[in-house]
Structure 1
């Protein structure tokens, strides 16, 4: 079933890149022409984004709460938490714990993640850092 294989690929990406903290998963699991939120970033750009996020929240916990697949698309609703230990969106490390959710829709092409659209409450994260 293509839907199951696509969901497995998305699970693998988040497990390797976030849970196992291996940003090199971007080279293995994303297409060379990967596009994020309409911007062509390629594997390198996405790897830099993962590394930036993990530097800001080095103990980041991640859980996929809902995963749906249809045709070449996979939707993932996720819960995150971590300690703010590095710069994030202009905010210096605070040592505060943050919790937030995000939703991503990912397009799979030829067994790789080719495109992603993410919605994350960055404002809510910054509010938690200021509290």
Structure 2
């Protein structure tokens, strides 16, 4: 066997997004990897559930945490869907969700599922521990 299985190829697309786009800020690769009709089924607050909303979130994260990167703990693929468990790391050097830069090192976990179609990310479902992140930044809880 010489080629990658569809599941392995899908995992490689997601890993490339995690490493080159999220971790490296390479938005030319973002444009290559995300389908024009991308749908985010769990968009973050204030973001649209489309490709533009995902790009905006990535840009906000890179601006707030210039050294933003992920440690992938594991990935499991089932056909065209890839589940990834990872921990994001960074240093808070820019405004984030209304919180002024603190200079603090942060980390938070996420689990997400991305569907890959024809070598591009077409859909996303995810859960991020943003409560932990906001606590690390010293944000006041909402009552």
TM-score (structure 2 length as normaliser)? 0.85
How far off its partner does 1:86 sit?
A: 1.0
Structure 1 gaps of 5+ residues are none
Residue in 2 that maps onto 1:100: 108
Residue in 2 that maps onto 1:79: 87
* Higher CA-based Rg: 2
Residue in 1 that maps onto 2:137: 129
Please identify runs of 4+ aligned residues in structure 1 that moved more than 4 A.
Answer: none
Conservation of the 8 A alpha-carbon contact between 1:24 and 1:47: no
User: Within the alignment, does 1:29 sit opposite 2:37 as a pair?
Assistant: no
RMSD: 1.6
Conservation of the 8 A alpha-carbon contact between 1:26 and 1:46: no
User: Within the alignment, does 1:14 sit opposite 2:33 as a pair?
Assistant: no
Structure 2 gaps of 5+ residues are none
Tell me the distance in 2 between the aligned counterparts of 1:99 and 1:80: 5
Residue in 2 that maps onto 1:90: 98
The number of aligned residues is: 131
Tell me the distance in 1 between the aligned counterparts of 2:131 and 2:30: 26
